[in-house]
Structure 1
Amino acid sequence: MNFRSNRGNNNRGNGAPRVARSRYDVRKRLMIVGGLLGLSSFALLAFAVDRQIIHSDFYRKEGNERYQRDVEIPTNRGMITDRHGEPLAVSTPVMSLWVNPQDIANNPREIDRLADALQYPRAEMARMISEKSKKEFLWLRRRINPAAAQKVLALRIPGVYGQREFKRFYPQGEAIAHVLGFTNIDDHGQEGMELAFDEWLSGKPGKQRVLRDRRGRAVESVDLLKAAEPGKDLALSIDRRIQYLTYRELNKAVEESGAISGTAVVLDIRTGEVLAMANVPSFNPNAVSGSKQDAHRNRAVTDLFEPGSTIKPLTVAAALEAGKITPNTLWNTSPGWIANGRYQTKDTHNYGTLTTTGLITKSSNVGMSLVVRRLSDRQFYDFIRKMGYGQRTNSGFPGEGAGILADPSRWDGTQKQTMSYGYSLSVTPLQVARAYATLANNGTAHTPTFLKGGSDEGKEVLSPKVAHEVMKMMQTVTEPGGTATQASILGYHVAGKTGTARIASGGGYSRRYFAFFAGVAPVDNPRFSMVVVLNSPDASKKGYYGGTVSAPVFRNVIEGALRLDDVPPDDLQSWLAANSKTKAPAAAAKVVTP
């Protein structure tokens, strides 16, 4: 107690001053804070200058990549129409779905939702996204119904987007599949006219710049960089009505005859335009993936066959053009065969003595062998070549075959004779149709075309006189006594030629046949040239001769085509006679009916 008092007294007694506590220097501290704020402001200003002035392009680019994107504007493929403007191939709008795997890879729940929405196995969907987890794009479904796509997009699954596209649709389906061909998943032509005119039909996509939100969805269009250009339309020479008739009758003939396949071509004689071209079996171009690859082949322009007796009018025309024979020259075909090296050329019957016209009417192989002997190898070769055999027709169809016609320097001692009745050379159905159209067109050949109005001026390859003479000879083939009476059409004169050629196999010939008929109508004012080929018809059904299985196809198709195009009859006599016979019983019935 005293101790404390004494210490206090001592302090006061010594007179020492009291020690004061140190105070804050406010001004100094304010200066420091102000300096720091100034430095910070300067740093921010320098940063802004760097970003907005010095390196503005770089940072603008970086920002745009996050919020702006140049997207493609899809465009439709041009429409394909027939010669009358009827649609054969059109493009319809569809939707395609895609996903950014990075947005969903770590979200199993959303992956399951996506798989369920697309009716896809969950495990498979998870595997696909996992494999592409470092990518930014993965197609989910291509070209689906827009309504179905919207249902998936309405779920708002992260990273899932839709893209507008177009899908090709073929209203005529199988009937014209081989002419049109089809397009792939990216809408580019793969076969037929779709391939031949792919650049013409394909549009040029446009491009626009859009703003995206943080989910990557386009929320605003910023700028149109390039307008989309739709594809150009294409008008074909095909007549949809005749095409359907051709396919229907060919399909029926293949089924009834038991043939492996069939091919038919119809040309406009005056222009060379392809009015119809059909093959059986066919395929559905709207569902290509489900068809057999072999069915895609357009046999009318790609497949080769020995023409058989359809070449006989050309053999005769060659000799007539060379002045070696006349239509009335007599030929002794007895005893129904003739030597050909160590082989024999035979007829189905011993026809005895025939005129040149009779050789065509009866389709005599022996007679053709005698005719061609009056021509040199080069004369015969040059004429057949001039008629379009051994070279492409230049129709423009992808994969067109040239056929096989060996140069005379490579012929052996029997080849010319064998060629005179249709063996030892190969042709396409289109080549035969063109050759017959040339005969019917007064000897003027046109290049076959699949385009409406695509005809050339034509080139005279034999004299009109010879062409007219051969046409009259071929007319006898479809009249009583000929080999193709089933090709005749009431009210019209028809000229044609049958053919039945054995199919080569294993270095020789099998017991299977090609059955042909090639013809034109009407004779006096020719409009249509048609070729029908049936491969291996079953002999136990309707036989295998061209006159019995192929000629009826020609008759049914061309009769319909003549009616559709209002072609006036050139054989009124037979038409009036037939009508008078059908009307007479009806008149009699009216008399006796009580």
Structure 2
Amino acid sequence: MKPSVFLSLIQTAYQQFKREDAQPRKPLREDNPEKAWRMLQASERRSHIALCTIVVMLLACLVKIADLQIFQSSDIEANGQQFYRYAVTRNLPAKRGQILDRQGNVLANSELCHTIWASPEKVIASGKKAVLAGALKISTKELDKRMAVKRRNVIVGKCVDDRTTTAIRSLKIDGMTFENEYKRIYPGGAISAHVVGLVGSDGNGLEGVECFANQALAGRDGRRGVLRIPGGKVLEELWRQESEEGTSLTLSIDSRIQTIAVEALQKTVARHEATSGSAIVVDVRNGEVLALASWPSYNPNVRSQLNYDSVRNRVVTDMFEPGSTMKPFAIAKALDMGIVKPDTAISTHPGKILVEDQIIGDDHDYGVLSVAEVIAKSSNVGTVRIALQLPSQTLWKTYSELGFGQKPEVQIPGATSGKLRPAQRWGVVEHATIAYGYGVSVSLAQLARAYTAFAREGDVVPLTLFKTDRERVAGKPVFTPETAKEMLKMMRLTVLAGGTASRLKIDGYTNAGKTGTAYKVKNGAYDKNVYVGSFVGIAPMTRPRIVTAVMIDEPKRDGHVGGVVATPVYKEIVERALNVLNVPSDELTRLSDNFRKP
């Protein structure tokens, strides 16, 4: 009770007593007035003594209450806490599994850290507020802001490392409690960001493998029941259910090749002032993805810089019209069906062809070309003449079997299926344009997978981001082995003199591939000043090991065609990747093959 309340009670009692004492007395008895007077005086003395006694008792109570409230409050609270106890259930966070590359290098790891709780009242009373702020590496103003929450205990530090936590413990501030948690660390930073992804503040995956394999990586949290007293101090543990650590995953990614790809894209995007660049490297033996790179990238350790353009994995999420990189598929099917042969003459004169009401043309009038030269020169007219000899349903089925129009089986969320309309909805013009890469949209991952048909024996393999135990897996047949070999030979002409990628030369290794250049659609129409340049290649041609696909989006300076903007990126990646993988040169391969002959 407040002192003012007691004073009010004393004053009320005194006023009441005074009123009663001042009331008129009964008239004295006439028979003995002296005795009556003495009795009246005795009554007044007793009343005064009683009043004084009451006042003294009230004052004593007031003094005691003041002593308890002001001077002994902390002792009383401490003693009371020994008797006031309550049980609570606390979470025991599970350690998230690691993500490793194929060599065992850590791409994502969880490190132990701590959440620090404190009583604002006790921090201030300790006189160590400034020291605590310094240990947390924040200003006293920021610490005041964190302690401004109207609660007995507040969080003053989240995800604090062991060293800082030890320093704060040494301050010995009453009422502080420490809870274990885990912080996700990404040693690869921007290099592996688009593959690994990142987790949110709740510890669940948001992008990449972190999102796709969240359940396996997360493990299972544990729980424990504890007996606590006000202020947060734990008296004893009542029960415990241990957490289960998440499963660690080993990816197919080779960090060395991944680094090569990201650095090559970064340089090229800057040189050509492009919007972005993407690349994927696939092991044709088993579909393992050795590199999956996009630029611009982001650092998952620095959340303040995140934005959609940098976070999304363009290799699987972005679709584009591929242009001439689609041409080999229609020609391969025509070879398969016996409609043409590599040396079949195709007239492209006069450098254009009328398909219904649409004119389709080449950059030059190439005259008569062989089928092999149609690929080397990347002739639209020649490709259309061949493709129109194929039934539309047959061509659509070929594209579908190659994986176009379907989500690729790669373990990255948000993968696009692209756009491939059913054959029943094709007109003659669409039948023609799809053959040279317009009227169809694909992702770079789909394109790379489709080219495994030429690197193998006509079959395509599903892509995987996880390391497999099998050196070679069976694929889905699309073309005959003979057709695949012939196409490889014809695509070899693309990188020789007169081909659209004649700048591509890698010492010791032969390459086969196809360039692509396409206009982009802006505001519902093709903008002939905005391009996508691409190249998909197979190396080494003598014994294919990798398929590499590169796409440069909207290059604005120093060229725009695939052979100029994408082929140099391919060269830098493949030249170094073959060395990293210890792939024998063509000469060593020939010597090895001759040695094995009887």
Interval of TM-score (by shorter of Structure 1 and Structure 2): 0.7 to 0.9
Counterpart of 2:192 in structure 1 is: 176
Alignment match, 2:468? 453
**Equivalents in 2 of 1:126, 1:565: separation in Å?**
56
How is 1:114-263 mapped onto 2 (pairs within 5 angstroms)? 118=136, 129=147, 131-133=149-151, 138-212=154-228, 215-218=231-234, 220-221=236-237, 223=239, 225-263=240-278
Kindly tell me the number of residue pairs found equivalent between the two proteins: 508
- In structure 2, relative to structure 1, the CA distance for the partners of 1:137 and 1:398 (3 Å cut) is farther
Deviation at 1:121, TM superposition (A): 6.4
- Tell whether the 8 Å contact from 2:218 to 2:247 is kept in structure 1 after alignment: yes
1:496 correspondence with 2:478 = no
User: Deviation per CA, 1:220-250, whole angstroms, max 9, x where unpaired?
Assistant: 5554x21222111100010111111111111
* Superposition deviation, residue 457 in structure 1: 3.3
Shift of 1:105: 11
Which whole-Å deviations, capped at 9, do the CAs of 1:126-176 have from their partners, x for residues lacking one? 56555443xx66433321222223333443444432222211111111111
Q: CA deviation at 1:99?
A: 3.8
The answer on whether the counterparts of 2:517 and 2:561 sit within 8 Å (CA) in structure 1 is yes
In structure 2, the residue matched to 1:27 is none
Give distance in 1, aligned partners of 2:256 and 2:451.
22
Distance 2:149 2:483 in 1: 73
Query: Is the CA contact (8 Å cut-off) linking 2:277 and 2:296 kept in structure 1?
Result: yes
Question: Secondary structure at the residue paired with 1:393?
Answer: coil
On the 8 A contact 2:532/2:554 being kept in 1, the answer is yes
Partner Cα distance (1:378, 1:359) in 2:
23
- Please report the TM-score for the alignment, with normalisation by the length of structure 2: 0.79
Corresponding position of 1:266 = 281
Q: Output one character per residue of 1:498-552: Cα deviation in whole Å (capped at 9) or x when no partner.
A: 011111111111111101000011112110001000011124x2x1111112111
What does 1:557-576 correspond to in 2, within 5 Å?
A: 557-571=573-587
What is the rounded CA distance, in whole Å, between the counterparts of 2:174 and 2:504 in structure 1? 68
Equivalent residue for 1:91?
Answer: 110
> 1:415, CA displacement in angstroms?
0.7
SS in 1 for 2:232: coil
Give the deviation of 1:217 after TM superposition. 2.5
Alignment-derived partner of residue 366 in structure 1? 381
Which segment is superposed worse, 558-567 or 119-128?
Answer: 119-128
Paired residues of 1:153 and 1:161 also in contact (CA < 8 A): no
Distance 1:68 1:106 in 2: 28
How far, CA to CA, are the matches of 1:69 and 1:315 in structure 2? Answer: 68
1:405 Cα offset (Å): 0.3
Question: Aligned partners of 2:433, 2:407: CA distance in 1, in Å?
Answer: 23
State the partner residue of 2:530. 512
Residue 539 of structure 2, aligned match among 521, 527, 538: 521
Check 1:457–1:480 CA distance in 2 against 1; reply closer, same or farther (3 A cut).
same
Q: Give the secondary structure class of the aligned counterpart of 2:531.
A: strand
**Counterpart for residue 437 of structure 1:** 452
Residue of structure 2 equivalent to 1:472:
489
Alignment counterpart, residue 428 of structure 2, candidates 389, 406, 413: 413
In the superposition, relative to structure 1, how do residues 380 and 493 fare at CA in structure 2: closer, same or farther (>3 Å)? Answer: same
Unaligned runs of at least 5 residues, structure 2: 1-80, 592-598
Change (3 A) 1:355 1:84: same
Give CA-to-partner distance per residue, 1:329-354, whole Å, 9 cap, x none.
10111111111333321111111100
Alignment-derived partner of residue 76 in structure 1: 95
Cα deviation code 1:11-52 (max 9, x no counterpart):
xxxxxxxxxxxxxxxxxxxxxxxxxxxxxxxxxxxxxxxxxx
Q: Choose which of 354, 357, 360 in structure 1 pairs with 2:372.
A: 357
- What amino acid does structure 1 have at the position aligned with 2:564? T
2:570 counterpart of 1:554:
yes
1:320–1:111: structure 2 CA closer, same or farther, 3 Å change rule? Answer: same
Is the alpha carbon distance of 1:119 and 1:560 closer, same or farther for their aligned partners in structure 2, counting shifts above 3 Å? Answer: closer
Q: Give the aligned partner of residue 40 of structure 1.
A: none
CA distance in 1, matches of 2:286, 2:175: 57
Cα distance between partner residues in 2 of 1:196 and 1:470: 36
Deviation, structure 1 residue 573:
11
Instruction: Choose 85-94 or 68-77, whichever is displaced more.
Output: 68-77
* TM-fit CA distance, 1:75: 3.1
Letter in 2 for 1:562: L
CA distance in 1, matches of 2:542, 2:107: 33
536, 554, 558: which one aligns with 2:554: 536
User: Residues 77 and 360 from structure 1, CA distance in 2 versus in 1: closer, same or farther, beyond 3 angstroms?
Assistant: same
CA offset digits 1:474-507 (Å, max 9, x no partner): 0111122211122331221211000111111111
Mapped to 2, the partners of 1:355 and 1:94 lie a distance apart of 67
Which of 420, 427, 430 is the aligned partner of 2:442?
A: 427
Once structures 1 and 2 are overlaid, which stretch shifts more, 124-133 or 241-250? 124-133
Q: Deviations over 1:313-342 (max 9, x none)?
A: 111012112221111110111111111333
Q: Distance in 1 between matches of 2:345 and 2:474?
A: 38
Tell me what 2:390 maps to: 375
Question: For 2:82 and 2:489, how far apart are their aligned partners in 1?
Answer: 82
1:489–1:555: 8 Å Cα contact kept in structure 2?
yes
Q: Distance in 1 between matches of 2:482 and 2:84?
A: 77
TM-score normalised by length of structure 1: 0.80
Please report how far the alpha carbon of residue 271 of structure 1 lies from its aligned counterpart in structure 2 after TM superposition.
0.5
**In 2 relative to 1, CA 143–131 (structure 1 residues): closer, same or farther, beyond 3 Å?**
closer
AA of the residue aligned to 1:316:
I
TM-superposed CA distance for 1:118, in Å, is 4.5
Q: Distance in 2 between matches of 1:70 and 1:309?
A: 63
Matched-pair identity in %: 37
Aligned mates of 2:435, 2:176 — CA distance in 1? 69
> Could you say if the C-alpha distance between residues 574 and 270 of structure 1 is closer, same or farther in structure 2, counting changes exceeding 3 Å?
closer
The amino acid of 2:476's aligned partner reads: K
Residue pair 2:136, 2:164 contacting (<8 A) in 1 also: no
What secondary structure, in the 3-state scheme, does the structure 2 residue paired with 1:351 have?
A: coil
